[in-house]
A and B are shown apart, each in its own frame.
Chain A
């Protein structure tokens, strides 16, 4: 079984490299931009897949976590603290090296948070938010849970849309890229496209590896048991409420990391990243990939996000995802990329269908 897992991850790495080479060598380097963005959305999707498929909790507000990450990081790296540099707290920040001076759009001097600091604060803020609302929210079931998460998403949306300091309808722009590690820059600059593609997909590969490991571990088994028969899981000593919360927070943190990185890559963020439609889109992708299928969610996320970003769906973007949701829920509630599909394909090639788990 571990061998199968390693094979899958190796296949992912190979695919990522293959796609990049194919795209660059065919002269479509600009596609790399959408592929990179697709990767960051995939971070949200795999986390959500874990939450919905394995822990059995629906969230219709995950775009909210993505937005919290992106907005906080974006805000802290563009809000000029120079006018306040004489205030005590600002000088503490400056002395501890959290701030950085830079040139703003008009050539003037600006003092903002260093992107690394801003990013960490953003993820931390998301962690705390998820921890705080997760407790009461996860006690709800069914429709109430769906509505509560939907409500959370809308609150985030309304706050970012309605707050002047966060750019209101225009969002925040002119967000700087940052140096991830010496030699690696997260930024939208044309010359760094390939580098950023690998940064993004590297992050995805890392996350998927961690999640796949988790799914195959004692905790993964416990999660499946919670999803299957929660009362029996409790009788086996599993703290179901605690695990659900941990998964909720984990998926929220993943979403916000995606948000932070995408914001710095794009150089901007707008309220649409927090909209209900974005949250619905994430759920649609998890559904079509097969609720409890990390790989399915990843593949579908990659394909659908890429198509959507390239504009293949035109103005009917939202309608497409709406239709996908309905069609999948009506006809294939287990998703398209399920074990049965795989085993049917295998049978086609004359091999026996395996019993064990993906």
Chain B
């Protein structure tokens, strides 16, 4: 394989890796605040892409994206308030099934609204054939947009959790819910906030990658699985590690096409997931105790 092909694979891997990492970060935010794994996480990405694509038909692109993100955030808040907020110490099993049910309903609603077709936002700059060349490597500018915006999101989240009051309140909540409540933190609102944040970043992620990867009504499930794999790979709850793990998975998947038919691409990521769960559930970068600390 020549260097050009090699870098193309890397670029493809990074592109997909970014979106996997974003889904993983979404998982982590909700998990950290609540201990719940939100199976509907992938649907937020799908909704972001689909809503923005629809709106971009009659709105300028930046407003379409902004509107899509806001709408998805509202949906995230509604989900939490309608389905989760009033549950009284639900069992893990019950929560799993509820979030699966939610993801199914969102998916079916998407099918009803948009049908089975694929949608995509227009490329932010240029078209699908515009190319930026860095030496031997040819990239679409969209890759720079997606990695750039995702990086800004991750940095923004870091700043939020470390330097703003609500962010620190959320971290307190995830460390020790009862103690947080005793400090006057409204833990129920923190849970809603975590859903809003997860929905928002998922939606934004969906918007930036959709020009390249397309979205359709059932894109959510596959993304959720990959996102979960990445979250586990990095250590559940550890979002910085999720970024690295996302890149790792994306690149591994990308190169796997070299040795096995594309149809089996998913089998790779799931086998990695199963392997991690069986051998080292605390993740590549995690230790059992760190997993318990559950920091951003």
CA of A329 to CA of B92 in the docked complex: distance in angstroms? Answer: 11
Cross-interface CB contact of A318 among B104, B232, B277, cutoff 8 Å:
B104
A144 to B277, Cβ gap below 8 A?
A: yes
CB neighbors of A among B238-296 (8 A): 261, 263-264, 266-267, 270-271, 273-274, 277-278, 281
With a CB–CB cut-off of 8 A, which chain A residues contact B97?
283, 287, 325, 329
Q: Is A12 close to B, CB under 8 A?
A: no
Interface secondary structure of B, over-half rule: helix
Min CB–CB distance B41 → chain A (angstroms): 12
Q: Is A208 close to B, CB under 8 A?
A: no
Specify the chain A residue showing the minimal Cβ separation from B84.
A330
With a CB–CB cut-off of 8 A, which chain A residues contact B109?
319
Cross-interface CB contact of A147 among B94, B111, B277, cutoff 8 Å:
B277
B278 to A136, Cβ gap below 8 A?
A: yes
Min CB–CB distance A206 → chain B (angstroms): 30
Q: A58-B93, A323-B101 are in contact. Are A147 and B261 (CB under 8 A)?
A: no
CB neighbors of A among B132-154 (8 A): none
Q: Is A307 close to B, CB under 8 A?
A: no
Size of interface on B: residues with Cβ below 8 Å to A: 37
A148 to B101, Cβ gap below 8 A?
A: no
Q: Give the one of B97, B103, B277 with max A CB within 10 A.
A: B97
Interface secondary structure of A, over-half rule: helix
Q: Is B98 close to A, CB under 8 A?
A: yes
A148 to B98, Cβ gap below 8 A?
A: no
Cross-interface CB contact of A162 among B94, B107, B263, B273, cutoff 8 Å:
B263
Min CB–CB distance B36 → chain A (angstroms): 9
With a CB–CB cut-off of 8 A, which chain A residues contact B111?
315
CA of A147 to CA of B226 in the docked complex: distance in angstroms? Answer: 11
Specify the chain A residue showing the minimal Cβ separation from B109.
A319
Interface segment out of the listed A43-51, A151-159, A350-358: A151-159
B263 to A326, Cβ gap below 8 A?
A: no
Q: Is A27 close to B, CB under 8 A?
A: no
Cross-interface CB contact of A325 among B98, B266, B270, cutoff 8 Å:
B98
With a CB–CB cut-off of 8 A, which chain A residues contact B96?
58, 142-143, 146
Q: A158-B267, A162-B263 are in contact. Are A280 and B100 (CB under 8 A)?
A: yes
B94 to A329, Cβ gap below 8 A?
A: yes
Cross-interface CB contact of A151 among B92, B221, B274, cutoff 8 Å:
B274
Min CB–CB distance B22 → chain A (angstroms): 19
Q: Is A322 close to B, CB under 8 A?
A: yes
Q: Give the one of B101, B111, B263 with max A CB within 10 A.
A: B101
B residues neighboring A (CB under 8 Å) = 37, 83, 87, 90-94, 96-98, 100-105, 107-109, 111, 221, 225, 228, 232, 261, 263-264, 266-267, 270-271, 273-274, 277-278, 281
CB<8 Å pairs between A and B, sample of 15: A143-B37, A143-B96, A147-B277, A155-B267, A158-B270, A159-B267, A162-B261, A162-B263, A284-B101, A319-B104, A321-B104, A322-B107, A325-B98, A326-B98, A326-B102
Smallest CB-CB A-B distances: 9 pairs: A162-B263, A322-B104, A319-B108, A326-B101, A325-B101, A142-B92, A136-B278, A151-B270, A143-B37
